[in-house]
Chains A and B, each alone.
Chain A
């Protein structure tokens, strides 16, 4: 045995500290970005900013309609993607046998999670707007209503975009339910559907919730697909339609309208407006709201996952 141990230990020491420094540089840069947006943005945010509409040719006022549009699109997106995603995952985990076809479904879902979002946007425009929308219009004879970029198609496109996230995370949650729990239920005479309904789904609940929240965060943050799917720079009216039953009127999201969206708002203010420096505080404010929404939902998702893993370990 040679006595070069101290020499080697210096190498280890150097290496460990180098990696550590690298990591904290990274963390520092990311923190710098967040804190810069936070410091510049927090001064802008107040009640007016969150609920007012833009004024003076977008140079003052708030982002109320943009927040409304963002939430409306996200809610619609969930309405489309959640049932389909969960049912697909239930089929894949509980019913599907390991056949070639099912393996193809699994592989394509995994791979589509990596397809660029702009390609989904392209598909949304070509398929939903110009193909399905135009055909709906010609069947309903509704003129140009659905055959143009509107919220319905933006939400549908985002729904397909987040579908892989929901399917994969739901599958993970379903697969983590121990086989013994299922067997116990079967032993009590339960049918397959009863097992799924009363044992598997309740136990996988927080895992499914995690995936849903991640999908929401992804849907809120995506800008590229909605660029040409109905996001508008400025709309005088909220995309609302009133459903009236006699005297009682219920405001509803109108999916056949264009919409404002926080991320699109930031993009336009930062790149296309005539004077980006005047609107800079508004941009920081909007960016802070957008980051707030996505990070908040992610933190909730992380919390649920943490809780889920804990109960899983307890088994």
Chain B
């Protein structure tokens, strides 16, 4: 029996090497990069591929997929970054993705990034990778850090014991990267001959492996051609559910139960635990042989920092201070640039386009479509770019430095109470600036359940775009108690987020809470290059993917406002008609007019548009629109330059000058206030203080804006979560506004 197996393997050998030879000539070498989280994998990949990386998602899941196509030493290369995992057992999304990719796509070589400061635990994954019979090259990363700690490695010994090439690297400085690539390419050259030799896990296990392979050869020989035999046998001994299903084998298949008979009597029923033990025993043995640690462990910098940062009394204040700094930097630093981009698009760029269209004698409606639909849409995309870049930069910094894990550690108790994870705090906090980067920030949450719940609650944090609506209404109706009323709205959002979180935890997300078990990596200074590359990838991705959708929504809204053709009165436009349709539903809330309805519908684009639309609808357009004097093209461009300079100065002064958050200050310029006077008059006619409060509460809570929708779609790969957010928020907004208005009326506050 065994002989036939060997024969058949030899056949596969030849076949595969022939196939591999053909493959090599034609296409590129596929390198998969695998490793533990926090082993410096991203930094290493950035050092190898730089800006050639393309970011996407693995199909069907929210886990990020990075790939790069490039040439190295004349060889075409496809580099695939696998998600960071501690193991290849199929329990987390990341593990399933990595495993499926390695088993089904069979890359030519695996670069295994190993944290030299944490060799033993990292080798646990290495051993599992080697079971797959794909050549492995080890990047012994953070080598400088390990040496600084006094660790001494016997690299030759490690290499010969594992039967793979081991290259010491320090990714932050790019050290060892070339040697690593050379080693990877040479291992990939004869992929099949260079496959790792099995590392024995002890007689009991090896005998069982042989027995399973024999059994499979008898009854399910095709499985042995589909999967690496030893790996397959090990997984079946572990009773790996995923694999059993794929093979159509019952969990109590007699092939497995007979082969594992001895193993189970000798070591207990939990064969998976026994195998984990065996792998760890190997990893520990290897580590003992190749690594000399200094006798006395120095107190490390990380411990010193943690003694303060995680201190019982200072931990939370320090965390809150760090969050304040991050919030301020993210929003205040980016805002002047967003404003600049906004003015540039709505100013010079728009005027140029108008002039161009006029010169071409295009009909008025095309000019309007281009100016108010397309260019406004481009503007809407661009204003988000600075804040997305800033947020990505700081989030990446927090993660790369190791503080993100501490933040989660400090906040977990509080967040866990509403069914969230400690890491949910940061996305929720960012939501107060803008919900869009907040949705993108949920990518720091690994568990899909945690991530979805966080994203569902983010829209309840009152973002900066809702502020102009509050300001106009509060200024009109509650100027005496402006601060209190504004504060009440923020508190309402937070309280409802907590309540909704508790409800979702018991309904939509019922079941065991996702695990918290998380490594607290040592503090490290992320390399600037890596930070910038990461930020750039994300920003670019947002521009391309989300940008298209946002543009489409902007054009759609233009049509709603301007159709049917030649509509004069806003009431007769499609938007106005929608407003008339929704008005009856809003009337129990105290604002059942088509004007309010249309303004709310227009708020789908962005909530601040509610005010703009009301301005347009309530205040009959004065013929004398303020027109800037036309500028020459030269002057336009000169202005672009000076105003960019001003944006830099404003960004700088925003950051250093004040302790407040400029983005969140509720004050309006005097000019703005004057401009809004007619609108305020009109509002006083239409609203009572009570219905005004119901209205702003409604604006706080109702559907998240279209950009949030796009962000959710983008981040989750499905419209499902936006659908749920839309539905529950509509219901919540209606209910709360109803309670406020009807309750208030009952209490006699309606006048």
Co-complex (A, B): no
